[in-house]
Structure 1
């Protein structure tokens, strides 16, 4: 997880023009370059990475970087396992 935190910090240091954070509860929060970079970093520190499903970075040159965090994949796998259990009962 420490490597993931360092990656996110490095991407923030590249001064994105917009950052979208997708939370596990379905909420999506956007920050633009008008917002204080420090406030975004402080906000991200408030949340456990377990609560964040995806972070998207958009840069002035048109580059877009999207990071999907492991908690989103785990949730999808659990759903698939439930379906398999139902099929075994037949």
Structure 2
């Protein structure tokens, strides 16, 4: 009986660790995408301020940056919760 519970918790712990690693890799991809969009956003704002670009284009990229940052924070929260489970 004790071995059953030990195996169960060991398996559960392994699943949680796998989830954490998946979330971390997803977070890493989102971070790369955010950096790419953020650089584009900064470039568009420079163009906007020099009157080469309209406001709407820069704001679309800005909104994408906010979405990505929100997803990254959400993943960080999930990772923290799973790490506390361990």
TM normalised by structure 2 equals 0.34
Q: Which has the higher strand share?
A: 1
Bigger radius of gyration among the two:
2
Q: Which has the higher helix share?
A: 2
TM normalised by structure 1 equals 0.33
Q: Relative contact order, CA 8 A, sep 6+: which one is greater?
A: 2
